[in-house]
Structures are given as structure tokens and as C-alpha cells.
């Protein structure tokens, strides 16, 4: 099983012969097993050169960069090995045709809501759970009647409002949810949501890149020139399933505390130590496995994202109709 490497500190990534080394600021050199690496995430200031990138390319390793605040900046992605013009044409046709586009976009939201309800059921205080779940179901029922993408987005927004409203019944230890704020986040919970979404987004990107899907052609989100918007679509499914449950676990088990955040004029970010803790939990979760009902073997959460991409390909080429992942346990 390949894994992700997270580099919090600064230093130099270098190639010596056919091995990758990380030299830290003290000049200490440590080899990184490139054969076992899937993605390298860089949070600190790291020097590198093209010969190192060639090495990454020959092993299909992706390199992702995050800025000072932990927001995603960009990636170095090796030449795509999997290409199928046929599939890209099919994928586009599913955006072009409004009915087809609505079908796929709706599935993403339905799965997202399913996982939001699952979180509430799992972490929520008993007396409040059923009312939140009921309200979410009522909103989600309107998805079938929506006729345009903005209508779908509206319903998705309402569901998210209800879901965030339920956070106070899921958080223990005096943590209070106020409201969602991004770029910049105003409190620790928002800081974690934003950071988690960044990481989830690149995880989805790296899995999509291993398939023939084109990450710029999306359904729920508008295909724009700036972002790999298909990642945003697919991340809808996995944000509540993976990222949010990590946040609840970190908070409720006191694995992350106020001291793991930096405050700057009311703007809140995870500190280096906070990020380390979050990433460790994220990596642990992505590596953990469960028994897949159809494949009848253990699959990791990371691989689950790839399987979702496979199902989309099947849908687009007229193989089998897409049904989104809905955790059943």
C-alpha cells in the first residue's frame, strides 16, 4: 500500500542516484522510499530541482504545495498515463445535457446528506438527533424536484445550514459552533474545516489522476478554468464521511485543543503542531480499511475515492448507472 508523506519543516528535497532524500535545515539527510510514496505534501519552504522532479515523474509521485496558512496552492503532477479521449467526450456530454448533468449532481448531494445524517446519528446528543435528521431529510426530498443547478445548490446550502446547526449537539468539552467562515476562518472549528477540505480536495485529485476522468469537467460545481472542479464534486461525498468525522474525533477525544491554533487579529489557523495532529489523523483514517460489500475484500478510504471515480466512468460510458457511495454501517 502506497502512502502520503507530509513535510511540515523546511529543507531540501534532492535526488541522489535514483533515491530521494530530504535534507532538513540542520543538514540531516533522510531517504524517502519513493516506490512506496503516492503523494508528497509540502507545508514548509522546500528547495528542489528538476532532476528530483524527473524522479518523481518516473515513479508517478505527485507533489502538492500548501501556502503559509495551509491552503492548497498547486501541484506537480507527472504526465498522465491514463488517457481515453472517448471517456472525456462522454464526460463532457454528461455536462452538456442538462438532464444528465442534474442526475449526477443530485447523486453527489444525496450522498453528502446521507453522510451528514450519519455523523449526527453517530456523534449527536440523543434528544436532538431525530429532529435534525428529519429536517435534513425534508430538505433532501426537494432534490428530486429541482430543475436547475442553482436550485440544487440552494438545497445543498440549506442542508449544510441545518448540518452546521447540529454541530453544537455533536461537540463535547465546551466547544461552541457559531457560523461558517472561510478564507479566513474566524474560529478553530472553521480553521479545521477549511484545512480538512484542502487536504480532501488534493486526495480526490490524486485519485482522479489515476483514472481516465478529466478533473476539470464537473457537474455540481461549474467547470471553471481555475480549479479542478470535479474534485470539488466528488469531495462533497467524502467531506462529511472522512474530514468531519476526523474533526469530531479530534475535538471529542481532546486530541486537539485551543493551544494548537494560532490567532492573528481574529483570524484563526492551525499551528504547526495542530496541523501535524490533524494530518496524522487524516492519514490514519485514509489508510484504515473496511470490508467492501461488492468487492468482498478490505479497501482503504483512499481507495474508496478511486472506486467512486470508476463508478462515474461506468455511468458515463453507458455501462452501469451511477449510484453514489453511502456508508452502510
Partner 1 sequence: MSIRGIEMHYFAMCHRKLWLFNRGIGFELEHDRVIEGLVLHDQAYSRLTKEVSLDEFTTIDTIDGDIVREVKISSRMEHADRLQMLYYLYLLRQRGIEKKGLLSYPKEKKTVGIELDAEGEQEIEQAIKSIDSLLSGKVPNLRKKTYCKKCAYFDYCFVGEEEDAV
End-to-end CA distance of the chain: 24
Residue 325 interacts with partner 1 (CB under 8 A): yes or no: yes
Name the one residue in this structure whose C-alpha cell is 489522476.
209
Q: Which of the residues 61 through 90 are near partner 1 (CB under 8 A)?
A: 81-87
Minimum distance from CB of 86 to partner 1 (Å)?
A: 4
Specify the stretch interacting with partner 1 by CB under 8 A; choose among 139-147, 165-173, 220-228, 311-319: 311-319
- Residues 182-211, one symbol each (x = binds partner 1 by CB under 8 A, - = not), give ----------------------------x-
Q: Which helix (H) or strand (E) holds 39?
A: strand 37-42
Is residue 40 within 8 A of residue 75, CB to CB? The reply is no
Candidate segments 9-17, 156-164, 238-246, 321-329, binder of partner 1 by CB under 8 A: 321-329
On whether the CB atoms of residues 270 and 191 are closer than 8 A, the answer is: yes
By the rule CB under 8 A, 319 interacts with partner 1: yes
Binding of residue 294 to partner 1 (CB under 8 A): yes
Q: Does 254 bind partner 1 (CB under 8 A)?
A: no
Q: How many CB atoms lie within 10 A of CB 182?
A: 12
Angle of the 301-316 helix axis to the 229-238 helix axis, nearest 10: 120
| 217/226 Cα distance (integer angstroms) | 12
Residues 80-139 that bind partner 1 (CB under 8 A): 81-87
Nearer to partner 1, 280 or 321 (CB): 321
Distance of closest approach, residue 111 Cβ to partner 1, in angstroms: 9
Beta bridge pairs of residue 21: 14, 31
Instruction: Output 9 or 82, the one with its CB closest to partner 1.
Output: 82
Residue 7 vs 313, nearer CB to partner 1: 313
Of 169 and 327, nearer to partner 1 (C-beta) is 327
The reply on whether position 320 binds partner 1 by CB under 8 A is yes
Rounded to a whole number of angstroms, the minimum distance from the CB of residue 45 to partner 1 is: 32
Site for partner 1 in 209-228 (CB under 8 A): 210, 212
- Strand, coil or helix: what is 323? coil
User: Of the ranges 42-50, 120-128, 270-278, 315-323, which one interacts with partner 1 (CB under 8 A)?
Assistant: 315-323
In the bound state with partner 1, the residue whose beta carbon lies nearer, of 237 and 251, is 237
Residue 279 three-state SS: helix
Select 51 or 82, whichever has its Cβ closest to partner 1. Answer: 82
The answer to whether residue 293 forms part of the interface with partner 1 (CB under 8 A) is yes
Is 323 a binding residue for partner 1 by CB under 8 A? The answer is yes
CB of 308 to partner 1, least distance (A): 9
Asked if 58 and 18 count as a contact pair (C-beta separation under 8 A), the reply is no
CB 281 within 8 A of CB 243: no
State how far the Cα of 279 lies from the Cα of 285, in Å rounded to an integer: 10
59 binds partner 1 (CB under 8 A): no
Helices 229-238 and 98-123 pack at an angle, to 10 degrees, of 40
CA-to-CA dists, residue 219 to 214, 296, 311, angstroms: 12, 30, 15
For residue 16, give every residue at least 6 positions away whose Cβ sits within 8 Å of its Cβ, in sequence order, or none: none
Q: Is 280 a residue that touches partner 1 (CB under 8 A)?
A: no
Residue 328 DSSP one-character state:
-
By CB under 8 A, is residue 315 in contact with partner 1?
A: no
When the beta carbons of 117 and 243 are compared against partner 1, the nearer one is: 117
Amino acid at each position: 500500500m502506497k502512502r502520503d508523506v507530509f513535510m511540515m519543516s523546511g529543507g531540501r528535497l534532492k535526488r541522489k542516484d535514483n533515491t530521494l532524500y530530504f535534507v532538513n535545515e540542520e543538514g540531516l539527510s533522510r531517504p524517502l522510499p519513493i516506490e512506496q510514496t503516492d503523494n508528497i505534501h509540502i507545508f514548509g519552504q522546500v528547495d528542489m530541482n528538476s532532476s528530483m522532479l524527473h524522479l518523481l515523474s518516473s515513479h508517478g509521485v505527485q507533489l502538492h504545495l500548501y501556502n503559509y496558512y495551509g491552503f492548497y496552492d498547486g501541484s506537480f503532477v507527472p504526465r498522465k498515463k491514463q488517457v481515453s479521449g472517448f471517456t472525456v467526450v462522454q464526460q463532457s456530454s454528461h455536462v452538456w445535457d442538462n438532464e444528465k448533468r442534474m442526475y449526477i449532481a443530485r447523486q453527489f448531494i444525496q450522498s453528502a446528506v446521507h453522510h451528514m445524517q450519519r455523523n449526527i446519528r453517530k456523534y449527536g446528543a440523543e434528544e436532538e438527533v431525530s429532529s435534525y435528521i428529519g429536517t435534513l431529510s425534508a430538505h433532501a426530498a426537494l432534490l428530486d424536484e429541482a430543475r436547475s443547478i442553482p436550485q440544487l445548490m440552494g438545497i445543498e446550502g440549506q442542508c449544510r445550514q441545518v448540518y452546521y446547526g447540529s454541530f453544537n449537539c455533536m461537540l463535547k468539552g465546551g466547544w461552541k459552533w457559531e457560523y461558517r467562515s472561510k478564507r479566513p476562518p474566524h474560529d478553530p472549528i472553521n480553521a479545521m474545516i477549511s484545512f480538512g477540505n484542502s487536504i480532501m480536495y488534493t486526495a480526490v485529485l490524486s485519485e482522479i489522476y489515476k483514472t481516465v476522468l478529466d478533473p476539470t469537467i464537473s457537474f455540481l460545481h461549474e467547470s471553471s478554468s481555475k480549479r479542478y472542479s470535479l474534485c470539488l464534486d466528488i469531495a462533497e461525498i467524502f467531506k462529511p464521511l472522512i474530514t468531519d468525522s476526523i474533526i469530531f474525533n479530534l475535538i471529542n477525544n481532546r486530541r486537539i485543543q485551543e493551544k494548537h491554533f494560532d490567532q492573528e487579529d481574529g483570524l484563526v489557523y492551525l499551528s504547526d503542531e495542530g496541523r501535524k495532529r490533524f494530518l496524522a489523523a487524516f492519514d490514519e483514517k485514509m489508510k484504515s480499511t473496511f470490508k467492501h460489500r461488492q468487492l468482498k475484500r478490505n479497501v482503504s478510504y483512499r481507495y474508496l475515492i478511486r472506486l467512486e471515480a470508476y463508478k462515474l466512468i461506468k455511468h458515463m460510458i453507458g455501462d452501469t448507472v451511477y449510484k453514489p457511495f453511502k456508508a452502510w454501517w
